[in-house]
Amino acid sequence: MDDLALMVDLHGDGERQSPGDDAVTRRAIALAGLPGRKNLSIADIGCGTGASTMVLARTLDAEIAAIDFVPEFLETLEDNAHRENLGQKIATHPLAMDALPFDDQSLDAIWSEGAIYNIGFENGVRYWRRFLKPDGILAVSELTWLTATRPDALTEYWERHYPEVDTASAKIAILEASGYSPLGYFPLPSYCWLANFYRPIEGRLGAFLERHDNSDAAQAIVAEHREEIAFYKRYSDYFSYGFYIARRSDG
């Protein structure tokens, strides 16, 4: 089994594949000014098993295109959507987030939680902009420094894993320079990482190793997760995901 298949096996049972929470998604929806609007066309990009997709479908009058390149995650999302009778609002598409099929200026909103880092924040927001209607909304969460300075070990760790990690003011400057008008920013509270993401993963690591006979590849993935979790527990004052909500601007 290759590393991607192992990651899918480890994360597929999770309610989320990145830090987040339904209440956080609802807060971003409110900041985006979407509640009450009719017949919205939304894409949830890098949706995973669709925790945010389901919140969007429950909350809004919308058709949602749920995009992820892992078909197994989309199957779980479809099962969940049918169970809640939301299947008619959600269409899944097994596609790469850097080769999207939408017409230019066709979407009211692009949603993406804990996923844009896969193609890079700046590259992603620039590429996705064309698909938004002139006043369309972008709502993305992205790894963010919470303070201007921090311990060197932490800087070194995240710059190795995600060199685009930066402060909220730097991310907002990128949005402005990329043709967006910022509407809101807030950092995700730590329960989104610990209670909603890392503790469930810690609970699954033992069974994951057993399923894969303690293979070298499975052990490497477990070690990576343990290191990331330890960094979070030690340094959570200094970083989180930031949720960025912006409107396409043509000025």
Binding residues (CB under 6 A) for ligand SAH: these are 16-18, 20, 46-48, 51-52, 68-70, 73, 96-98, 113-115, 118-119
Instruction: Closer to ligand SAH by CB, 15 or 63: give it.
Output: 15
Q: Minimum distance between the CB of residue 1 and ligand SAH, rounded to whole angstroms? A: 16
Q: In three state form, how does the secondary structure of the chain look?
A: CCHHHHHHHHHCCCCCCCCCCHHHHHHHHHHCCCCCCCCEEEEEECCCCCHHHHHHHHHCCEEEEEEECCHHHHHHHHHHHHHCCCHHHEEEEECCCCCCCCCCCCEEEEEECCCHHHCCHHHHHHHHHCCEEEEEEEEEEEEEECCCCCCHHHHHHHHHHCCCCEEHHHHHHHHHHCCEEEEEEEECCHHHCHHHHHHHHHHHHHHHHHHCCCCHHHHHHHHHHHHHHHHHHHHCCCEEEEEEEEEECCC
Nearer to ligand SAH, 15 or 249 (CB): 15
Alpha-carbon span 204 to 248, nearest angstrom = 40
Q: Among candidates 59, 53, 55, 60, which has minimal Cα distance to 78?
A: 53
Task: Quote the least distance from Cβ 77 to ligand SAH, whole Å.
Answer: 10
Select 155 or 232, whichever has its Cβ closest to ligand SAH: 232
Supply the minimum distance, in Å, between the C-beta of residue 45 and ligand SAH. Answer: 7
Q: Which residue's C-beta sits nearest to ligand SAH?
A: 48
The nearest distance, CB 56 to ligand SAH, in angstroms, is 11
Closer to ligand SAH by Cβ: residue 59 or 249: 59
Of 24 and 168, CB closest to ligand SAH: 24
Identity of the residue, 75 or 150, whose beta carbon is nearer to ligand SAH in the bound complex: 75
Beta carbon of residue 236, minimum distance to ligand SAH (angstroms, whole number):
18
93 to 6, 178, 206: CA distances (angstroms): 22, 26, 32
Q: Least distance to ligand SAH from the beta carbon of 62, Å?
A: 17
Work out how close the CB of 208 gets to ligand SAH at its nearest, in angstroms, rounded to a whole number.
17
Task: Pick between residue 102 and residue 150 the one whose CB is nearest to ligand SAH.
Answer: 102
Nearest to residue 161, comparing CAs of 218, 199, 219, 118? 118
